[in-house]
């Protein structure tokens, strides 16, 4: 319902006044009269019901539509018996689908205005005669409705309308036009009504559209009308005098005269309606007051009679907690062309204009005083119109009734609330206007499902103050482009997390997704984003971190991502873009990115600090709380710690010293202030924790809690799982920090750990979430205080106990998806575990955590090398190379170094680890074989393919001899061996090894296994290089289909490997257009997914350059080749085989563009370099020789012929006569010898495929 009921003492049903409006003909202005009278009655505080059954071209709804707010079936709003009697259902099968009457509500506060709209298919009065009993009962029901006035506008031509009006009504208004009154018919109608009335009826005549400007002629006409009606009702019992009201206006009338009438006789119009009101209400209402100018202006704008730029503004006022509603209201006002400005009580410019203030009522009693202040300020300005939006169950005493318009949005859907708002403003019928703002505020009252949440903490239970900080954060997020991060900064423990948490919950309806990421380190961020990818159902392909960021960027809905607790790390590569908001919290001492948009948070003001403390401590009154705040300050963390100590001290005083429980906290304040008033300069938190721990050590559970807190000070701020803390191994480590008796008690009974945790929670040192996935947490600032309170020896003891406990609970698996391993890594970072050199069980765990990190991928390599390399140097200094864990760590760090493209450094590390490991374990130990496998990878990366082949053969034989051909390590070694055979130029051997490994993998793991499909992709490329193009295409197409094809999306690195191998195969089959299409898809996806300089992207870019060359776009092909060449030279050096392949292909492209000298130089350097590094019989060396001959053929055919004959001679024995490289060489040789007669001209617009197309592997 829009608006509250009228504020009258007799608001109950005290008798309803029923008035009918009749006319002998149509086009009398009757409907206009009903509409205006209903509006004026409602605006005077009456509850009005109109039955709109007229059949004119304009119905009552057309007059009131700008104020329409709600609509229901009649039976939902009126009493059932009245609805059945007054609006009986249509009878007969032919009428069963007829439209039914509906009740429409219009905003006309402080009263209520309802209109029953009768469709043409349901005429009213209903057909058929009612008996006297039925009429009597219907009249009784009408008298007992909740309405003060019922206005009937029936069908003109219905023969029963006279009787219905006479029986049901106290007053019948007879309407006729001033110019053409047709008085005899009016008199006849009046006579019929009068005679049918069982108890008499008041008749009122109304002449409409009175437009006579001459007063004399107007008086004459008035007398004539009165004479014509004067004696029509003469009866034997006496004559009847019918009062006459003249309503000025044009023949067409005005829509709503109080709102729109602007003619010179406006006062006469309002006076006429006042007179009519007096007659139909028996004097209860006798004045039609003009409406506020602001409402009139909006009404004219809504009807299109005033330009959009001229309508009045709306000033929006709201308490801080109602900002979500204010934002939604602002957006809705903008949608109908009304600008909303913030309401400022002292705005002199506003006071100089007639304005409207829309105040959002408080959501709870805490802000009720705010509304009282707004009402007082607005009432002081008589030119201001006040509207109040009610959004919740506020007490009636908090809302005004008599002089404001109230729009009740409580319990509405968004569409209902929108209609009620627009109707209250008089803009219900206006078309929405385009709004430029890209952000769409959510509807705070929508009962829809809440937004999807990821790791969002629960709403701060006690959140006070911070109104200005929240408003600033909200303004910055709305003002900036979507995706621009806003940084919330401030001192440690000042309340940044609580502020952003409150924002996320308060404005949650804005968002479809809210993501909360604890950003204590880059690893934590990447881990959370990986979990988010799984939560959102992002396919696990490629790099899940980049995939989920891309998913957020293309997501259509609005989202919020919070990075909480970021340090100095650069997060720019881990932030999403797109249609959302990003918030980062950082300490004020952390480095901010250039140009950062910030919100700075400080301590609470004293009043808010006192409110927070009294809310936290039961029985603490305001004056003692003020003394506490003056002693320790207004930091939220200090107040939290103080609340725990005061609460427990109050309980002890109550039980031990007979102090009343309600006064315990107050009694404890003097002693508390004295105890924590330590030396100047010492943080208050440190003083409070020192006193609290001393008090806790007085009982067993407290002593255990202190040790637990000291150990948890080394845990990740994200929390330590209760399953880990409660394990036997961790309890045993806690027991080592206690006395022998206490330790024995703790180890004997697991319940004692829960009791200790409860004690830590009571003193606010710990936070425990007991539900599923339960954790114990310590605020980072509390961790720092606890650490600072321990001696150096005590810190080392507690850290050692904590690390031993973690090492003992570590699972055997190092799988990437192990949740325990993921959690242990967080604690490894926070505890500084990599700074320790023992004991062995901890060192074993540290190596396993690195192996887990390598298995995860996720772009962890740089961070892993930065953290673990110093540990290796320390272990070497203390333990030397002849140490199992040092060698294991060195092998894994070589893997990490290699993945970062630092091949020389990785090679040196692998060689040393292999030498020392062989001496310690022997050549066939699995760890030595793993190290040898890494060494082969280093050699491959550096272009030493023959040396890599030797190491891969030894690795494969070692695993095969120990574990058999089916062991996973043997299969990995076989795949590596196949690649080494191919790189060494022995592709036929590579194919044989790869197909055997493929068959075993398919049998063991299935044909859809990722590693199996990777092998199939390599087999397809091997067959292509050997010239078996059709089989290669079949294998690759089948692998593409199994991996998911287009339905999986171009964001899977394995799928993209298959796709680009398929593209090269199509090019070799003579389908350059298709090859270009597939390669372009793969290249664009790889750029986005793994970056420009990833080996996959670089190799694909070089292949795409060949496609552009064949399509005739040599300029773009050259640019692509040069980008790849620069990358290879930077990472691998200028003499690497891959760099020489780039030069050979660039020579071909440059030659086609006429840059012959550059082409010849490139071709010569490439051919010589490949022959030197790979040997003359290698396919790439022979291919480079052929390409050199193609480049020099035009100017030096004899040299070209010699080069080609050399290539054919060198490759015949090593490659075989049917190798594709030799076929190209023979074809080029024939072309040179015959001066082009053999090959003939190429197709127009394309470059002839007369060179060796060399493909750089994705290694």
pLDDT digits (tens, 9 = 90+) for 683-701: 899 999 999 999 999 899 9
Of the three residues 280, 314, 344, the one that is the final residue of a domain is: 280
* In the predicted structure, residue 650 carries a pLDDT above the cut 80: no
In a domain, 50, yes or no: yes
Domain limits at 537? Answer: 452-600
Quote the pLDDT of residue 1232. 78
CA separation for the pair 143, 125 (Å, rounded): 18
DSSP three-state, residue 1234: coil
Quote the pLDDT of residue 1242. 40
Proportion of the chain above pLDDT 90, given as a percent: 41
Quote the pLDDT of residue 1125. 93
pLDDT digits (tens, 9 = 90+) for 654-687: 444 434 444 667 888 888 888 888 777 788 999 9
Q: What CATH number is attached to the domain comprising 228?
A: 3.40.50.300
Under 8 Å between Cβ of 940 and 948: yes
Instruction: Tell which phi-psi region holds residue 957, choosing left (phi > 0), alpha (psi between -120 and 50) or beta.
Output: alpha
Q: What is the mean pLDDT of the chain?
A: 84
Same domain, 375 and 489: no
Of the three residues 666, 696, 726, the one that is the final residue of a domain is: 696
* In the predicted structure, residue 803 carries a pLDDT above the cut 50: yes
Under 8 Å between Cβ of 421 and 414: no
Quote the pLDDT of residue 79. 83
DSSP three-state, residue 27: coil
3-state helix, strand, coil in the chain (%, to 5): 55, 10, 35
Same domain, 594 and 632: no
Quote the pLDDT of residue 264. 65
CA contacts within 13 A on the Cβ side of 243 = 15
Instruction: Tell which phi-psi region holds residue 695, choosing left (phi > 0), alpha (psi between -120 and 50) or beta.
Output: alpha
Under 8 Å between Cβ of 503 and 610: no
Of the three residues 673, 696, 719, the one that is the final residue of a domain is: 696
Q: What CATH number is attached to the domain comprising 1139?
A: 1.25.40.10
Same domain, 515 and 615: no
- Count, in order, helices (H) and strands (E) of the chain: 52, 23
Same domain, 225 and 128: yes
Quote the pLDDT of residue 177. 87
CA separation for the pair 1162, 1150 (Å, rounded): 9
Distance from first CA to last CA of the chain, Å, rounded?
70
Average pLDDT over residues 965-986: 94
Quote the pLDDT of residue 194. 85
Average pLDDT over residues 797-824: 90
In a domain, 1085, yes or no: no
pLDDT digits (tens, 9 = 90+) for 68-91: 988 888 888 888 878 877 777 643
Q: What are phi and psi of 716, to 5 degrees?
A: -65, 140
Average pLDDT over residues 605-619: 90
Q: What are phi and psi of 380, to 5 degrees?
A: -70, -15
Same domain, 264 and 346: no
Q: 240 or 1192: whose pLDDT is higher?
A: 1192
Q: What are phi and psi of 337, to 5 degrees?
A: 80, 15
* In the predicted structure, residue 119 carries a pLDDT above the cut 50: yes
Average pLDDT over residues 837-852: 91
Same domain, 236 and 272: yes
* In the predicted structure, residue 320 carries a pLDDT above the cut 70: yes
Lay out the sheet containing 452-454: strands in order across. 452-454, 513-518, 559-566, 580-587, 485-490, 597-600
* In the predicted structure, residue 819 carries a pLDDT above the cut 60: yes
* In the predicted structure, residue 1046 carries a pLDDT above the cut 50: no
Quote the pLDDT of residue 742. 94
CA separation for the pair 981, 952 (Å, rounded): 9
In a domain, 703, yes or no: no
Residues in the chain: 1259
| Beta-bridge mates of residue 105 | 70, 114
Nearest to 1200 by CA among 1167, 1175, 1178: 1167
pLDDT digits (tens, 9 = 90+) for 298-317: 887 777 776 655 456 788 99
The CA-CA-CA angle for residues 631, 632, 637, to 5°, reads 160
Nearest to 183 by CA among 172, 175, 194: 175
Residue 743 pLDDT grade (very low, low, confident, very high; cuts 50, 70, 90): very high
CA separation for the pair 684, 693 (Å, rounded): 14
Quote the pLDDT of residue 658. 39
Q: What is the DSSP letter of 1252?
A: -
Q: 917 or 1219: whose pLDDT is higher?
A: 917
pLDDT digits (tens, 9 = 90+) for 409-429: 888 888 889 898 888 888 887
| pTM, full prediction | 0.76
Query: Two tokens at 76?
Result: 């939902």
Same domain, 222 and 333: no
In a domain, 177, yes or no: yes
Quote the pLDDT of residue 393. 74
**Which of the listed ranges 158-167, 506-515, 535-544 does the model predict with the highest average pLDDT?**
506-515
Same domain, 1113 and 1095: yes
Same domain, 564 and 630: no
Same domain, 591 and 616: no
Same domain, 132 and 230: yes
| Beta-bridge mates of residue 486 | 583, 597
CA separation for the pair 73, 460 (Å, rounded): 44
Residue 1118 pLDDT grade (very low, low, confident, very high; cuts 50, 70, 90): very high
Nearest to 822 by CA among 523, 551, 577, 578: 523
Quote the pLDDT of residue 1045. 55
CA separation for the pair 326, 700 (Å, rounded): 53
Under 8 Å between Cβ of 599 and 487: yes
Proportion of the chain above pLDDT 70, given as a percent: 89
Query: Two tokens at 727?
Result: 């394990």
* In the predicted structure, residue 468 carries a pLDDT above the cut 80: yes
Under 8 Å between Cβ of 265 and 227: no
> Would you state the torsion angle of the CA atoms of residues 928, 933, 938, 939, taken in this order, to the nearest 10 degrees?
110
Query: Two tokens at 776?
Result: 């114990």
CA contacts within 13 A on the Cβ side of 271 = 6
In a domain, 997, yes or no: no
**Number of domains forming the structure of the chain:** 5
CA separation for the pair 910, 889 (Å, rounded): 11
The DSSP-derived string for 844-895 is: HHHHHHHHHHHHH-TT-HHHHHHHHHHHHHHHHHHH-SS-HHHHHHHHHHHH
Quote the pLDDT of residue 349. 58
pLDDT digits (tens, 9 = 90+) for 744-789: 999 998 899 999 999 999 999 999 988 888 999 999 999 999 999 9
Q: What is the DSSP letter of 1060?
A: H
Tokens 């009734």, residue?
Answer: 401
The DSSP-derived string for 478-513 is: HHSPTT-EEEEEESTTSSHHHHHHHHHHHTGGG-SE
In a domain, 331, yes or no: yes
CA separation for the pair 368, 388 (Å, rounded): 13
* In the predicted structure, residue 858 carries a pLDDT above the cut 70: no
In a domain, 919, yes or no: no
Q: What CATH number is attached to the domain comprising 394?
A: 3.40.50.10140
In a domain, 705, yes or no: no
Beta strands in 39-119 (DSSP E): 47-52, 68-73, 102-106, 112-117
Give the distance, in angstroms, between the CA of residue 262 and the centroid of all CA atoms in the same chain: 50
Burial call 1134-1157: b when 16+ CB within 10 Å, e when fewer: eebbbbbbbbbbbbbbbbbeebee
Quote the pLDDT of residue 10. 37
Residue 140 pLDDT grade (very low, low, confident, very high; cuts 50, 70, 90): confident
Q: 211 or 2: whose pLDDT is higher?
A: 211
Please classify residue 622 by burial: count the beta carbons closer than 10 Å to its beta carbon, then call 0-12 exposed, 13-18 middle and 19+ buried.
exposed
Same domain, 44 and 59: yes
């Amino acid at each position: 319902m829009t608006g509250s009921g009228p504020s009258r003492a007799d608001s109950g049903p005290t008798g309803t006044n029923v008035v009918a409006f009749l006319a002998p003909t149509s086009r009398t202005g009757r409907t206009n009269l009903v509409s205006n009278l209903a509006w004026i009655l409602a605006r005077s505080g009456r509850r009005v019901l109109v039955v709109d059954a007229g059949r004119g071209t304009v119905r009552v709804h057309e007059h009131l539509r700008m104020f329409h707010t709600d609509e229901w079936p009649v039976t939902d709003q009126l009493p059932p018996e009245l609805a059945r009697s007054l609006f009986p259902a249509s009878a007969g099968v032919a009428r069963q689908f007829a439209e039914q009457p509906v009740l429409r509500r219009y905003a006309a506060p402080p009263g209520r205005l309802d209109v029953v709209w009768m469709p043409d298919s349901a005429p009213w009065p209903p057909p058929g005669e009612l008996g006297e009993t039925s009429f009597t009962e219907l009249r009784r029901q009408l008298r007992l409705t909740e309405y003060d006035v019922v206005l009937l506008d029936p069908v003109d031509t219905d023969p029963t309308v006279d009787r219905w009006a006479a029986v049901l009504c106290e007053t019948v208004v007879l309407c006729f036009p001033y110019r053409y009154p047709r008085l005899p018919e009016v008199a006849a109608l009046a006579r019929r009504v009068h005679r049918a009335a069982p108890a008499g009826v008041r008749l009122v005549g109304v002449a409409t559209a009175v437009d006579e400007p001459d007063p004399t002629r107007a008086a004459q006409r008035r007398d004539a009308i009165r004479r014509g009606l004067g004696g029509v009702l003469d009866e034997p019992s006496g004559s009847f005098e019918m009062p006459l009201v003249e309503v000025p206006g044009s023949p067409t009338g005005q829509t709503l005269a109080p709102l729109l009438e602007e003619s010179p006789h406006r006062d006469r119009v309002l006076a006429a309606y006042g007179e009519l009101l007096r007659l139909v209400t028996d004097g209860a209402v006798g004045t039609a007051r003009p409406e506020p100018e602001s409402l009139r202006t909006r009404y004219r704008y809504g009807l299109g009679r005033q330009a959009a730029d001229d309508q009045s503004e709306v000033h929006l006022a709201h308490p801080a907690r109602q900002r979500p509603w204010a934002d939604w209201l602002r957006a809705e006002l903008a949608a109908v062309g009304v600008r909303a400005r913030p309401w400022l009580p002292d705005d002199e410019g506003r006071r100089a204009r007639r304005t409207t203030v829309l105040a959002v009522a408080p959501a709870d009693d805490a802000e009720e005083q705010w509304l009282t202040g707004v009402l007082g300020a607005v009432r002081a300005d008589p030119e201001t119109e006040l509207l109040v939006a009610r959004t919740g169950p506020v007490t009636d005493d908090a809302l005004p009734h008599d002089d404001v318009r109230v729009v009740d949005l409580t319990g509405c859907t968004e569409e209902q609330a929108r209609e009620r708002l627009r109707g209250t403003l008089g803009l219900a019928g206006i078309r929405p206007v385009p709004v430029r703002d890209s952000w769409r505020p959510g509807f705070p009252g929508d009962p829809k499902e809440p937004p999807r949440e990821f790791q969002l903490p629960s709403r701060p239970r006690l959140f006070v103050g911070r109104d200005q900080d929240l408003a600033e954060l909200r303004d910055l997020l709305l003002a900036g482009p979507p995706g621009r991060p806003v940084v919330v900064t401030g001192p440690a423990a000042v309340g940044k997390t609580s502020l952003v948490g409150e924002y996320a919950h308060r404005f949650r309806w804005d968002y479809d997704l809210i993501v909360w990421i604890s950003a204590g380190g880059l690893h934590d961020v990447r881990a959370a984003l990986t979990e988010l990818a799984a939560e959102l159902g992002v396919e696990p392909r490629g790099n899940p971190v980049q995939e989920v960021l891309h998913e957020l960027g293309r997501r259509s809905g609005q989202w919020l991502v919070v990075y909480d607790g970021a340090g100095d790390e650069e997060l720019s590569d881990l932030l999403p873009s797109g249609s959302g908001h990003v918030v980062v919290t950082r300490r004020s001492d952390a480095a901010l990115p250039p140009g950062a948009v910030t919100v700075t948070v400080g301590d609470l003001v004293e009043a808010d600090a006192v409110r927070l403390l009294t809310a936290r401590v039961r029985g603490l009154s305001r004056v003692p709380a003020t003394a506490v705040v003056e002693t320790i300050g207004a930091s939220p963390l200090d107040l939290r710690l103080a609340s725990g100590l005061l609460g427990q001290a109050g309980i002890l005083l109550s039980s031990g010293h007979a102090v009343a429980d309600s006064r315990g906290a107050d009694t404890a304040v003097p002693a508390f202030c004295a105890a924590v008033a330590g030396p100047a300069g010492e943080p208050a938190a440190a003083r409070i924790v020192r006193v609290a721990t001393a008090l806790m050590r007085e009982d067993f559970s407290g002593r255990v809690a202190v040790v637990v807190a000291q150990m948890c000070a080394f845990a990740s701020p994200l929390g330590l799982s209760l399953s880990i803390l409660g394990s036997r191994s961790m309890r045993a480590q806690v027991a080592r920090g206690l006395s022998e008796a206490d330790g024995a008690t703790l180890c004997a009974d697991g319940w004692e750990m829960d009791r200790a945790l409860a004690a830590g929670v009571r003193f606010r040192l710990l936070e425990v979430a007991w539900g599923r996935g339960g954790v114990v947490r310590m605020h980072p600032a509390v961790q720092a205080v606890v650490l600072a309170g321990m001696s150096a020896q005590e810190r080392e003891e507690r850290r050692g106990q904590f690390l031993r406990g973690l090492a003992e609970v570590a699972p055997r698996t190092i799988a990437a998806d192990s949740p325990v391993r993921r959690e242990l890594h967080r604690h490894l970072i926070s505890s500084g575990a990599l700074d320790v050199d023992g004991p062995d069980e901890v060192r074993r765990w540290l190596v396993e955590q690195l192996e887990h990190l390598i298995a995860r991928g996720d772009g962890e390599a740089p961070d892993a090398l930065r953290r673990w390399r110093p540990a290796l140097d320390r272990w070497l200094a203390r333990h030397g190379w002849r140490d199992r864990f040092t060698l294991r760590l060195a092998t894994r760090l070589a893997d990490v170094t290699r993945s970062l493209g630092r091949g020389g450094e990785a090679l040196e590390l692998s060689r040393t680890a292999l030498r020392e490991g062989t001496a310690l374990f022997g050549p066939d130990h699995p760890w030595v074989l793993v190290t040898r496998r890494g060494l082969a990878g280093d050699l491959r990366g550096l272009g030493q393919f023959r040396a890599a082949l030797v190491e891969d053969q030894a690795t494969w034989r070692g695993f095969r001899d120990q574990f058999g051909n089916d062991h996973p390590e043997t299969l990995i070694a076989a795949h590596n061996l196949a690649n080494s055979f191919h790189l060494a130029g022995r592709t036929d051997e590579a194919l044989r090894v790869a197909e055997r490994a493929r068959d075993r993998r398919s049998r063991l793991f299935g044909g859809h296994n990722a590693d199996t499909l990777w092998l199939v992709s390599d087999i397809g490329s091997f067959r292509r290089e050997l010239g078996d193009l059709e089989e290669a295409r079949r294998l690759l197409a089948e692998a593409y289909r199994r991996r998911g094809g287009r339905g999986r999306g171009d964001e899977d690195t394995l799928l993209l490997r298959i796709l680009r191998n398929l593209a090269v195969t199509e090019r070799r089959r003579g389908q350059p257009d298709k090859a270009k299409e597939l390669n372009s898809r793969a290249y664009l996806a790889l750029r986005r997914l793994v970056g420009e300089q990833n080996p996959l992207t670089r190799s694909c870019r070089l292949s795409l350059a060949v496609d552009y060359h064949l399509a005739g776009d040599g300029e773009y092909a050259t640019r692509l080749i040069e980008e790849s060449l620069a990358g290879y030279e930077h990472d691998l050096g200028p003499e690497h085989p891959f760099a020489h392949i780039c030069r050979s292909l660039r020579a071909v492209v440059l030659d086609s563009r006429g840059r012959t000298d550059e082409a010849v130089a490139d071709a010569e350097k490439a051919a010589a370099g490949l022959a030197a590094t790979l040997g003359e019989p290698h396919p790439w060396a022979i291919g480079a020789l052929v390409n050199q001959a193609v480049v020099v053929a035009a100017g030096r055919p004899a040299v070209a012929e010699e080069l080609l004959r050399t290539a054919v001679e060198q490759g015949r024995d090593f490659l075989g006569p049917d190798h594709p490289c030799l076929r190209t060489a023979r074809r080029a040789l024939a072309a040179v010898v015959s001066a082009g007669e053999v090959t003939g001209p190429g197709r127009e617009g394309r470059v002839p495929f007369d060179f060796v197309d060399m493909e750089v592997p994705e290694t």
